[in-house]
Structure formats: C-alpha cells, structure tokens
Chains A and B, each alone.
Chain A
C-alpha cells in the first residue's frame, strides 16, 4: 500500500504539472528567444575553436545515396559535401573549377569541351579518373538504371542522350569520352552557355565503377557501402535511420581548406522540436517556418535568405478540353494584377519572402558584367487594383458574362492554405463578380490534376536546376511538361528557341531574347501570374561561420564553415 501511494503521488505530480504548464504556457513562449549567455560578447575574430563540430538538422531522411537515383534535396545537399564534380559553386555562388584543373578548353562552335582533371583521390585512396565520369554519366542515362535526373539533365544537351534514354542507342554512345586518365571530352548537341554550372550538379559527378560493381546490391545501402571524393565522408548512416554524420575527408584534394572535423545531423520533422533543440544548445542551426518565423522575427541570431524559388498562379485556359474564362487575356491580366503581393509577404507569409513581379528570381543569375538578370528586365506585372478592375470589366464584356466562378488549386500545408485564402479574398474584393473556390490537396494530387489539366488556377512553384534564366524561361513553351494550361505564343516560343540555339554563343543577345520572352509571358499574355519569391528564415548560433547557401543542386556547402567563439 505504501508503494502505491508513492506511485500515485508521482503520477499526480506529473499529470498536474503538465496540465498547469498548459495554463502558464501562453505568456512564456518567447523566453526561448534568449541567446545562450555564454556566447554573448564573444568576438568572431576568426580564431578557430579547438573543437570543430557542427550540429545540424534535416527535415527528411535520406531516400538514397546513389547519385544516379537521387532526386531529393536532402541527398543532393549531402552529395555537395561528400562528393565533388568538375566544378563547384563557390562562396559567391559562381561555378569554380573543382576536380577540373582550371577552365576547360572549348571548341569554337561551343560544342566540344575538354576538361583536364587535377590529381585527386577517392576516399579509399585510389585516383579519380576521367573514366569515372564516363561511367557515371552513362549509368545515369541508361534506361535500365531508372534515373529520374539522368535524362532530365542530359537530354537535348549531350550528344545522343535523348536517343539513349529512349532505348534507341547504347549508353556507350553518349557524347562523353575519356581521352586518357586525366582528360575528359564532352560533345554537346547545342552550345550550353551555363555548362560550367551544370558540372556542379550531382548528376554529373564521377562514380567509382570498381566500387559499385564490388558492392553489388549493397551499394549505397548505408555509409559503409559508399565511396566519397568530396570535402567530407558520410558516416553513421544505417540506411533508414534519422541520424548520420559527416567527417572531414583526409583524401580530399583541398583538405587544408576544410576546417570542420565532424558534422552531426539528425532528422527532426516537427518544427517546434527543431526550435526547442536549437534553444537547448544541442543544435547549431534551425529553419523557422510559419508561426516560428513571426515569433523570432527580431532575434539577433536570425538569418534571412532569399531562395531562387518563385511561386505563381498557373492560369489554365482550357479545362478538360473546354475553353474557360481564363482563355481571355483581359481576365488573366485582371487576375495577375488583382492581388496585393506586398501585404501577402509582409503579413501572411512573414518569412523573408519577396513579392514577385517576375518569373526569373532575383539574386540568382548574373551576366558577364555581374548584372542581375532582374536588373535587366525589372518589374513586369505589379499589383494595381484599378487596372485590374478595368481589365476585368473589359474581359467580362468580351466574354458576354457578368459573373465568373473559378477554382484555385493549391497545396494543403498551413502556409499554402493561408496564402490561398488571402488571395481568394483579395481577388474577390478587387474583381467584382468573381467567385473563387479553394481546393487544397497534397503535392502528389496536385501534380496529377495538373497532368490531367483539371484545374482553373493553380498555385505552383519552381526552383532552378542550373544557374541560368533559361531554367525558368523555357517552362511554358508550347506543349512543355509544365505548360499543362494550353498556353501558346509562337513569338515566345521562337525567342526561347533562338536563345537555346543560334544565340547560344552571343551572351548579350541571348539575355535580351530571354528578357523579351519573359516580358511576353508576363506582360503581354499574363500566361501566369507571379506571386512571390520564397525567403527562408533560420536561427544560427553566433559561433557558426562560413556556411554557404546555394541556389541549386545541394543547398549548402560546409567546406568553408568553421566554429569560432563557442568555447
């Protein structure tokens, strides 16, 4: 009886404390914003701490570490840190030679690239050779591999890639050859002005044939069955778990630049838990979403980064084979100008996003004189309630109707739902006679409805696959995969075609053509209605330095990161 009393008391205490905490939690929630006291006042003079350990979080597991099969942000980020290609994005996000020794030799017609490899090793000490690149690219384009990115990245650029992916030619016929151990020759179908930045993308990294053959089915199943050639090696990954580490790779050719000894990563899917772990000092950096972005908006350790991802309305002109109100250009312009983007990013999103009056993001691509593409083409289609109303009235008249009902198809996350609700309210207020129905679905379902062209308006987003405006500009050419909205303009198609073809060797004219194409798409045709460019807020402990954020491929580089002032 005595024991049970203790049990009982214990349980009572536990339950009551948890319950009382619920009552007192409200006014206490922001105490977590205090920075750990021991770090205050320390100067980041650049002096390194003796312990170089970084502790990070991811929001999802690693689906696969096979370079040919990966298609997700987590794996790409790790590849960028444990492997390396011919080029790498540097601290200014420009492609710099990595495994390539200096810039490649390019033929006059821009179709043949000859790379010379520097001396570098795999983590087992064997040298990286030109043959490793040939093997890797052939493996990724081979239809038997089933690589999601192989054909996507190579078709149309590298000689014979399209035919091999279709099974019409052998993988060995791909336009890439090892001239000798240190010389790699690449044959292109058309000049690709952004080819160096492509070489920084994981799909174009080398793979070690001997290692992959030796491991067979076990290859890439856990960190033991992987081989690396980047700044770090992956360790402690059991293949399905929520935890892994990266250790400095002594075999890396530029190992003396790498300061961090260990990076510990844990998968934490719950945003509140991530913030708690950061505040407990266990983790050095956390992303902030939704409510947390607002709560920590004034924190001194807040970092705001602009991502090159743009969100927009796709305006479907022909739903299920039938033309709808959106086939009228005035209706589309009314919608594109009919909502206040500034308020959206300030009040609804509040995460560092920018209003987008464009398709090609800002701070993403620069011409040879380092001018942002955005500065070349400026703002294209802005919020203007009056003009929107005029377009709307004209459009209704042309259609001969007084009322229009449209559906907005969007994501089912909290952020997406809040945004769509705001946009509905804005459009219905500014455009008289418009009724909007909201439809929130998971990502996979949205893709399926897009594929079937079964929507009116869709909120969609796009991030780049290489560092060039073209990764956005060519999205909506007639019949393209992203253009499931029956948009077609031959002038726009021709500009894209010329930028990809005859203008490829004339950078200035090429940029002009792409700028023109963007203008037609947004201003003349209002084929899509840009909404915002995504920002990302994070908290980072002040002793963490030198993490570089990249616009495509792997999100971060830890090669230059170091810990200073923690001790």
Chain B
C-alpha cells in the first residue's frame, strides 16, 4: 500500500509539472496584455510597466524562472488583479470560503443523495421512488447557477430566511451556496445508489440473507448499501469537478470571496501568475481526490487490489 501511494505521489508530481508547463505556454499565447490601461500607454510606457513584472524577458527564460520559483514554493506575483501581491497569499486568503461551501455542498449532497437513492430502491416503483427519480433528473439537468439564483431570490430576498448574499454572517452565509452546490452530487448519488441497490437487492445472497431471517434494515445497510457504494465512489471524482466548476458561478452569485471566481477573472485579464497559481491549486485538489478515490476502493471492497495483484 505504502509503495503504491509512493508511486502515485511521484506520478502526481510529474503530472503537475506537465500541467504547469502546458498552462504556462497556453497562457502565453492568450491574446491580450496584462497591462490594464494598455490602450492609453505608448509602446515605451508599456514596456516600462511590463519590465516591472519580467515580461520583457524571452519566453524560455520566463518559463524557467517560473518553474524554478515553483520548486521553491514561490507562485509569483499578481500583475493586475492584486498588483504586486504574492499569489500564494491571494490563494490562501481566498481558499477558505471556497473549501467551506465546497465541502458542505459535497457532504450535504452525498448524504441526502444516498438516503434518497436507498429509500427509492427499497420502495421501488412507489411514489417515493418516482419523486426521487424526478429530483435526480431535476438536479442533474438544472445548472447550479439557476438553483443559486432561485435560492437567493426566495430564501434570501422574499422569505428572509438566509442572507441574500455576502460573506458576513458566518455559517448562515454559507447555507444557500452550499445547497446550490449540493444539487448535482445529490442527484448523482441518488441515481447511482438506487440503480445499484435494486440490482444488489435482486441478487442471490440477499435472498439468502432474507431466508436466514435478517431484518430489513440489516439487509439494506449491511449488504446492499455497501455494495452499492462502489460505483458511487467512482463518480466522486467527477462530482468534485462539478463542485469546483459550480463554485465559479455560485461564488459570484453569492458574492463570496472564494477562489473560483478569481480563476475565471485571471484568464480574462491575463494575470499570468494568478492563472498559474489557481490552475495548479485546482490540479492538486483534483489529483488528490482521484488518489483518495482509488484508495477508498480498496477500503470499501477488499476484492479490489491496488498493487497490481503480484502477490
């Protein structure tokens, strides 16, 4: 196991280095200049501003400078969004709220989704089942920004149950954004758990368990649920991506000082160091999730072996 994780960690570093390289060069071919008032400055004045951020050096030099800084944990400085500020500081100051609503959304969505899926499977073809399927379809097909806007309008503005927006009332401020983010994981989890459980519930060993006199809840949780979890874990990765991309818009709608909206903005305004910083941040996040998912497989189902089955 340790050897496996070690190997994976090495791959992770290689992956990150490749991502950094690709992003760096892709970003440099982006049209536009990071100098905000470029339309007002003469070429000489512009050169002065660009030299301040090392943009006058040849591209390979800029690349090696950046990668060398990266090795030492230096993500560079922001050019126009937060002039002269360390990108590490920007990311650190912005990741808290994103992580909070992301985790809450994921947790809420997965837990509710599992319950919904289980109930639907246990009461197959009842109205409960149909409504849960309906919710799952709604949750998958309606994008999170629509939910976010509706939640804001009704729960915030009309009924005044939660803050309309802004990040000022601690946990209360995080409720609506988390719910908006929870919709996709909820729907996905419900759908997978339902399908899997129905299949498992129809299998021979469940019939055997029933014949042995195991209670309904014992069958549901001990036997059916555990087996149904495996496909769910598989979609955890894509769900994390959905949460990340969802957070871009949800953060903007609820005016949350998160990192998602910075990511998009930085590309629009060619703030090179921020583009690199946020891309790498998201990449690390995703790679770690994928690793965790792979490790979880082994925990949930001992039949899946990670080390390649040599022993």
Contacts and interface: CB of A to CB of B under 8 A. Distances in A.
Interface of A: 1, 4-5, 7-8, 11-12, 14-19, 21-22, 25, 32, 61, 63-64, 66, 69-72, 143, 146-149, 151-152, 165-166, 221, 238-243, 266-270, 272-273, 276-277, 279-280, 282, 441-445, 447-451, 465, 481-482
| Interface of B: prevailing SS | helix
B255 A71 contact: no
Interface in B88-119: 89-90, 93-94, 111-112, 115-116, 118-119
A276 B156 contact: yes
Contacts of A242: 166-167, 255-257
A267 B82 CA distance: 14
Q: Which 7 A-B pairs have the closest CB atoms?
A: A444-B32, A146-B52, A64-B83, A445-B31, A242-B257, A71-B37, A11-B112
Contacts of A17: 154
A444 B150 contact: no
Given A11-B186, A152-B45, A221-B85, A277 B135 contact: no
13 contacts: A7-B115, A11-B115, A16-B135, A64-B82, A66-B83, A70-B83, A146-B49, A152-B41, A152-B45, A268-B166, A444-B269, A449-B31, A465-B40
B115 A282 contact: no
A266 B39 contact: no
Contact of A448 (B33, B112, B257, B261): B33
Contact of B82 (A21, A240, A273, A277): A240
Contact of B31 (A8, A166, A269, A444): A444
A407 B168 CA distance: 48
B255 A269 contact: yes
Given A8-B115, A148-B49, A25 B153 contact: yes
A280 B32 CA distance: 39
B33 A444 contact: yes
A447 B118 CA distance: 56
B150 A148 contact: no
B278 interface: no
Contact of B93 (A238, A272, A273): A238
B123 to A, nearest CB: 11
A450 B31 CA distance: 12
A34 B85 CA distance: 43
B166 A266 contact: yes
B36 interface: yes
A239 B51 contact: no
A404 B139 CA distance: 50
Nearest to B139: A15
A18 B153 CA distance: 10
A35 B135 CA distance: 36
Contacts of B257: 240-243
A64 B40 contact: no
Contacts of B44: 165-166
A282 B255 CA distance: 14
A51 B84 CA distance: 37
B45 A148 contact: yes
A474 to B, nearest CB: 13
A7 B201 CA distance: 23
Contacts, number: 179
B90 A448 contact: no
A443 B152 CA distance: 30
A28 to B, nearest CB: 9
Given A282-B164, A444-B268, A143 B48 contact: yes
B179 A14 contact: yes
B292 interface: no
A83 B160 CA distance: 38
Contacts of A143: 48
B66 interface: no
B272 interface: no
A19 B138 contact: yes
Which of A239, A277, A482 is most buried by chain B, counting CB atoms within 10 A of its CB? A277
Contacts of A239: 82, 85, 89, 93
B37 A149 contact: yes
A7 B114 CA distance: 11
Contacts of A280: 156-157, 160, 164
A272 B35 CA distance: 29
Contacts of A165: 44-45, 48
A482 B165 CA distance: 41
Interface string B123-157: 00000000100010011001000110111111011
A296 to B, nearest CB: 15
Nearest to B113: A11
Contact of B36 (A7, A71, A152): A71
B93 A7 contact: no
Given A15-B135, A242-B255, 15 more contacts: A14-B179, A21-B153, A32-B157, A64-B82, A146-B49, A146-B53, A147-B49, A149-B37, A151-B41, A151-B48, A165-B48, A221-B85, A240-B89, A243-B168, A276-B156
Which of B48, B142, B146 is most buried by chain A, counting CB atoms within 10 A of its CB? B48
Contact of A4 (B41, B119, B151): B119
Given A277-B166, A448-B31, A64 B45 contact: no
Given A165-B48, A273-B254, A450 B156 contact: no
A22 B146 contact: yes
B38 interface: yes
Nearest to B153: A276
A236 to B, nearest CB: 11
Which of B45, B52, B139 is most buried by chain A, counting CB atoms within 10 A of its CB? B45
Contacts of B279: none
Contacts of B33: 444, 447-448
A273 B164 contact: yes
B42 interface: yes
Nearest to B115: A4
